[in-house]
């Protein structure tokens, strides 16, 4: 679901009553209304993870875990009891020593000198959540130790990404002699030369990946666990987490006469984990290892937001940590979009001021501005997405392309990456969205598993003024007059490389779990997998032969609510409502009314269902329920192992 959908849809409808054993009366569902009903949803293929029955049984026995949780841990490569305990119980002692990172000793020593000599330090950030929170982390640590900090976050549209020589020259003229980049800098070769020419000491903190053969910019120190010869154990830290490690090292080692490293780790560091958790979750880095520790402990600290900025942001997002603990979902879908809105739609430095101010009134003002910008972002995104959907519905030639390139005049460049992701979600095709403004075409693209979008773009390199990215996400700028040639070449490239592939969404199912195995105790155990995200996905389970014990109910013409119970009988008795083998459980399916109509679901129908376990906290309708990820007829009724939406 999109952020807007997640914030706008409730699931508190009253469940239907249990039926008696009466004749089945088919209740056909209306096809959900849509402005673009002609658009066909992509094929959905179910892929069930290979089970590990023996290993899971052994881990469940020695670690005293539910069998299905042991199976999920085995799939994550966790095979021993002590390893499982550490994964399920993150602790601050699991954080690595920051001094293990190559360049850390030199960076700390130079920062100590700057603080002692009252030198102004320039922090140069990025305009997304990762970059702005990284600035906040280092700014807070340096100022706690008595240092003086300035910061610069580039404007997305006017300056673009990365270090700028003009900013370095201005800073030097204002007396700055130490510059620290956060979440940027690994490609700033020319800017590093500028710093060296001026006599600026440059410390680069960045997480972007490097090839072993890649050169690195000239700098006093580079903090990046992915650089050659760095033996730091955690390689997948986000930019703010690297800033967090520098802050940790600084706090633990600066002026040992006044600071006790053990006390710093126990008393001071936890408050820094709040920003670290927000960035780690928002930047979608793997939530394993040290990242998991940062995210889990930071979420715990967010239950008590001491700063005026966090409290104001929580209020703007309608979050009350005193009533309900902040979750990874809250960070990803409620907090991060509001923080990102500043850089997408206006000036990202507002975020740094928000998290730095101690004035509740000013914090409320800034949080209200972020809320307004986020609404503008959603409105802008929705308008452009409606235009894209209309074009796909009305242009059969465009809709049939295997790689979509869709352009529009004046679409806000801050949202075209989001739009590309939305198009991929709806079409299961690699997609590029292009905004044309003042004769320049700015594009952002997202791909699907198995297709290297960057390779496709590189085949058209001569058309761009600049481009970059990685396998699944790209960006570029080019003269608008070159756009027809880009479309022509990419259509030919896709014809070669995607000709044998039908668009499809793959639904990865992590384990089989009959509905009658869902209990409050199991739900409590599964919560210990949180925070969920990249490389620690929310489990999707499959139950075979679930029976509808009430007629399907439609919500807002698009969604469905079902009452399901696990059925143990080999087949339904024609014309009868057969009792199921367990008590029913509520199920909700977002955007699945059309699928339910296609399957002709009715009271007594049998389906295989892929689902996520949910806990509804509504005071009247609360309790365990499932969120449907996919439905199909049982295999003996539908020989296909796949489902179509």
Contact residues for 263 (Cβ-Cβ < 8 A; gap 6+): none
Q: What are 205's strand-pairing partners?
A: 182, 223
Calculate the alpha carbon distances from 552 to 39, 544, 582, 600 in Å: 24, 18, 19, 10
| Pair (253, 108) in one structural domain | yes
| Pair (256, 131) in one structural domain | yes
User: Can you give 73-93 as a three-state secondary structure string?
Assistant: HHHCCCCCHHHHHHHHCCCHH
pLDDT at 207 (0 to 100) = 87
| Pair (636, 530) in one structural domain | yes
Distance in angstroms (rounded) separating the CA atoms of residues 448 and 503 = 9
Q: Is residue 332 part of a domain?
A: no
Domain termination site, one of 261, 287, 313:
287
Calculate the alpha carbon distances from 448 to 1, 322, 452, 592 in Å: 17, 40, 8, 22
Q: Is residue 172 part of a domain?
A: yes
Calculate helix-pair angle for 360-394, 349-356, nearest 10 degrees. Answer: 150
**How would you class 428 by CB atoms within 10 Å of its CB: exposed for 0-12, middle for 13-18, buried for 19 or more?**
buried
Is 454:467 a contact under the CB 8 Å cutoff? no
pLDDT at 577 (0 to 100) = 43
If one compares 88 and 128, the residue with the highest pLDDT of the two is 88
Residues 194-200: what's their mean pLDDT?
94
Domain termination site, one of 267, 287, 307:
287
The tokens describing 15, both together, are 């469940």
Q: Torsions phi, psi of 116, nearest 5?
A: -65, -35
C-alpha closest to that of 179 among 136, 140, 122: 122
If one compares 72 and 183, the residue with the highest pLDDT of the two is 72
pLDDT at 52 (0 to 100) = 95
Residue 562 half-sphere exposure toward CB, CA atoms < 13 A: 32
**Residue 3 confidence class, pLDDT cut points 50, 70, 90:** very low
Is 602:28 a contact under the CB 8 Å cutoff? yes
Is 132:352 a contact under the CB 8 Å cutoff? yes
| Pair (33, 174) in one structural domain | no
CATH of residue 185's domain is 3.90.1640.30
| Pair (440, 558) in one structural domain | no
Q: Per-residue pLDDT tens for 394-425? A: 999 999 999 999 999 989 888 899 999 999 99
Domain termination site, one of 250, 269, 287:
287
Mapped onto helix, strand or coil, the DSSP state of residue 608 is strand
| Pair (130, 167) in one structural domain | yes
CATH of residue 494's domain is 3.10.310.30
Calculate the alpha carbon distances from 131 to 44, 110, 168, 208, 268 in Å: 36, 22, 18, 12, 22
Distance in angstroms (rounded) separating the CA atoms of residues 245 and 294 = 11
**Residue 243 confidence class, pLDDT cut points 50, 70, 90:** very high
**Residue 450 confidence class, pLDDT cut points 50, 70, 90:** confident
The rounded mean pLDDT for the chain is: 86
| Pair (486, 534) in one structural domain | no
DSSP state of 588: E
User: How many residues are there in the chain?
Assistant: 645
Q: Is residue 373 part of a domain?
A: no
| Beta-strand pair 504-509/511-512 | unpaired
pLDDT at 573 (0 to 100) = 40
Q: Is residue 122 part of a domain?
A: yes
Residue matched to tokens 């490609």: 187
Contact residues for 188 (Cβ-Cβ < 8 A; gap 6+): 162, 163, 181, 204, 217
The tokens describing 265, both together, are 């780790």
Q: Per-residue pLDDT tens for 610-620? A: 999 998 877 77
Q: Is residue 213 part of a domain?
A: yes
| Beta-strand pair 43-48/643-644 | antiparallel
| Pair (270, 130) in one structural domain | yes
| Pair (113, 36) in one structural domain | no
If one compares 526 and 185, the residue with the highest pLDDT of the two is 526
| Pair (464, 488) in one structural domain | yes
Is 273:301 a contact under the CB 8 Å cutoff? yes
| Pair (534, 445) in one structural domain | no
Calculate helix-pair angle for 308-316, 349-356, nearest 10 degrees. Answer: 120
Report whether pLDDT(260) > 80: no
Q: Is residue 324 part of a domain?
A: no
Q: Is residue 8 part of a domain?
A: yes
- Residue 605 belongs to domain spanning: 3-49+510-644
Is 602:552 a contact under the CB 8 Å cutoff? yes
Q: Is residue 115 part of a domain?
A: yes
Distance in angstroms (rounded) separating the CA atoms of residues 333 and 348 = 18
pLDDT above 90 coverage of the chain, percent: 69
| Pair (161, 224) in one structural domain | yes
> How many domains, in total, are found in the chain?
3
């Amino acid at each position: 679901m999109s952020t807007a959908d997640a914030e706008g849809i409730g699931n508190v409808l009253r469940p239907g009553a249990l039926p008696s054993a009466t004749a089945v009366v088919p209740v056909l569902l209306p096809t959900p209304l849509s402005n673009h009903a002609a658009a066909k949803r992509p094929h959905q293929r179910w892929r069930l993870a290979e089970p590990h029955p023996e290993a899971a049984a052994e881990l469940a026995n020695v670690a005293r875990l539910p069998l299905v949780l042991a199976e999920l841990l085995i799939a994550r490569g966790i095979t021993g009891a002590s390893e499982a305990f550490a994964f399920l119980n993150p602790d601050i002692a699991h954080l690595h020593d920051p001094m293990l990172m190559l360049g850390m000793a030199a960076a700390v020593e130079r920062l100590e000198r700057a603080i002692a000599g009252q030198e102004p330090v320039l922090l140069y950030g990025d305009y997304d959540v990762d970059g702005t929170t990284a600035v906040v982390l280092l700014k807070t640590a340096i100022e706690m130790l008595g240092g003086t900090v300035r910061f610069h976050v580039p404007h997305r549209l006017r300056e673009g990404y990365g270090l700028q020589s003009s900013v370095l020259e201005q800073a030097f003229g204002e007396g700055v002699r130490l510059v620290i980049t956060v979440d940027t800098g690994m490609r700033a070769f020319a800017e590093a030369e500028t710093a060296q020419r001026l006599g600026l000491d440059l410390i680069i903190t960045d997480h972007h990946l490097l090839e072993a053969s890649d050169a690195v910019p000239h700098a006093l120190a580079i903090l990046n666990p992915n650089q050659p010869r760095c033996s730091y154990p955690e390689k997948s830290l986000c930019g703010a987490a690297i800033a967090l490690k520098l802050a940790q090292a600084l706090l633990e080692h600066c002026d040992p006469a006044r600071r006790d490293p053990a006390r710093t780790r126990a008393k001071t560091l936890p408050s820094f984990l709040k920003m670290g958790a927000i960035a780690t979750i928002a930047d979608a880095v793997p939530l394993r290892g040290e990242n998991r520790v940062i995210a889990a402990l930071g979420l715990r600290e967010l239950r008590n937001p001491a700063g005026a900025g966090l409290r104001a942001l929580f209020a703007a997002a309608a979050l009350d940590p005193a009533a309900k603990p902040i979750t990874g979902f809250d960070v990803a879908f409620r907090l991060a979009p509001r923080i990102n809105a500043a850089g997408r739609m206006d000036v990202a430095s507002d975020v740094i001021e928000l998290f730095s101010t101690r004035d509740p009134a000013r914090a409320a003002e800034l949080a209200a501005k972020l809320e307004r910008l986020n609404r503008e972002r959603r409105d802008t995104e929705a308008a452009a997405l409606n235009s894209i959907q209309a074009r796909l519905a009305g242009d059969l030639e465009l809709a049939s392309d295997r790689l979509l390139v869709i352009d529009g005049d004046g679409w806000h460049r801050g949202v075209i990456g989001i739009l590309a992701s939305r198009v991929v979600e709806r079409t299961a095709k690699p997609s590029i969205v292009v905004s044309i403004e003042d004769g320049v075409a700015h594009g952002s693209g997202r791909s699907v598993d198995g297709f290297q979008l960057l390779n496709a773009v590189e085949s058209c390199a001569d058309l761009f003024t600049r481009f970059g990215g990685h396998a699944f996400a790209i960006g570029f700028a080019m003269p608008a007059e070159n756009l027809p040639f880009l479309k022509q070449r990419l259509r030919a490239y896709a014809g070669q490389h995607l000709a044998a592939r039908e668009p499809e969404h793959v639904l990865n199912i992590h384990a089989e779990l009959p509905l009658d195995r869902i209990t409050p105790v199991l739900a409590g155990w599964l919560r210990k997998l949180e925070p969920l995200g990249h490389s620690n996905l929310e489990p999707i389970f499959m139950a075979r032969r679930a029976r509808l014990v009430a007629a399907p109910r439609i919500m807002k013409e698009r969604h469905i609510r079902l009452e399901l119970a696990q059925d143990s009988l080999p087949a339904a008795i024609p014309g009868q409502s057969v009792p199921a083998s367990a008590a029913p459980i509520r199920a909700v399916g977002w955007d699945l009314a059309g699928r339910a109509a296609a399957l002709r679901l009715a009271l007594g129908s049998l389906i295989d269902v892929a689902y996520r376990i949910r806990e509804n906290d509504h005071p009247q309708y609360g309790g365990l329920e499932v969120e449907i990820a996919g439905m199909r007829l049982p295999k003996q009724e539908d020989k296909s192992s796949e489902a179509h939406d």
